[in-house]
Amino acid sequence: MSARAEQKLKTRRALMDAALRQLSADRGFGSLSLREVAREAGIAPTSFYRHFAELDELGLALVDEGGVALRQLMRQARKRIARNGSAINTSVDTFMEYLNNNANLFRLMLRERTGVSKTFRTAIQAEIDHFVTELADDLRRFAEERGKPLSDARMVAEAMVTLVFNQGAEALDATTREKEELQTKLKTELRMILLGAQSLARQSARTAGRR
């Protein structure tokens, strides 16, 4: 990579980080201006357009980054699960690590998921769908390996992801103690979903066996 190309990547990264730093519980992406993001990144506003066509394009790049980071982290969780065998505990602990390290990325995805921009909503839904698909595949595999079928792995994955996102929203600005309590609560709720899906699968199997 040439020095010029490397510098361009650094400036692009600086702009994305500048936008993230300005997000908070009281301020969403829609309230940011190109000028203040450029100023925070230490470049002239006119230089912004060398890296992004508009502010929304920067936001979409952040959405993509947030989704990719979450999926990569959950893939690492699979390796941890292979070592200690506790899928729910490991997955929740891994998600909380992601939340602690990427609070504003997650905040962006939460807010813009139901925001006014259809482009943002579509991009975030695509990231969630990717995550749900990977989780459903994992659930099917675990169910087969352990001989505990699920009634509908895709539906279970959707319920789990919805729950995780909702609890994640509460955890964003919680105290350390509150986060620990939410973490414990989330693990229990996920187990309830999983046990319920296993129970439904057994009921369906018994019903089919009586026909």
Q: Is the pLDDT of residue 67 over 90?
A: no
pLDDT at 191: 93
pLDDT at residue 85, as a whole number: 63
Domain(s) of CATH 1.10.10.60: residues in the chain: 1-53
Give the pLDDT score at 66.
Answer: 87
Q: What is the pLDDT of residue 189?
A: 95
Residue 84 confidence (pLDDT) = 64
How high is the pLDDT of residue 157? 92
Q: What are phi and psi of 24, to 5 degrees?
A: -160, 180
- For residues 190 and 209, the model is more confident at 190
Number of Cβ within a 10 Å radius of residue 87: 20
For the ranges 12-16, 68-72, 109-113, 198-202, which has the lowest average pLDDT?
68-72
To the nearest whole number, what is the mean pLDDT of the chain? 89
Q: 87 vs 70, 93, 96, CA distance in Å?
A: 16, 10, 14
> So what's the pLDDT on residue 97?
87
- Tell me where in the chain the CATH 1.10.357.10 domain(s) lie: 55-209
Q: In a 3-state reduction of DSSP, which class is residue 24? A: strand
Q: How far is CA 10 from the centre of its chain?
A: 25
Identify the burial level of 123 via C-beta atoms within 10 angstroms of its C-beta, where 0-12 means exposed, 13-18 middle and 19 or more buried: buried
Are 183 and 169 a contacting pair, CB within 8 Å? no
* pLDDT per position as a tens digit, 137-193: 988 988 888 898 998 999 999 999 999 999 999 999 899 999 999 999 999 999 999
Q: Which class is domain 55-209?
A: mainly alpha
Residue matched to tokens 């936001």: 59
CATH code for the domain defined by 1-53: 1.10.10.60
68-123: per-residue pLDDT in tens? Answer: 888 888 788 777 776 666 788 888 988 898 898 889 999 999 888 888 889 999 99
Sequence-ordered list of residues with C-beta below 8 angstroms from that of 196, at least 6 positions apart, any chain: none
The pLDDT tens digits for 165-174 are: 999 999 998 9
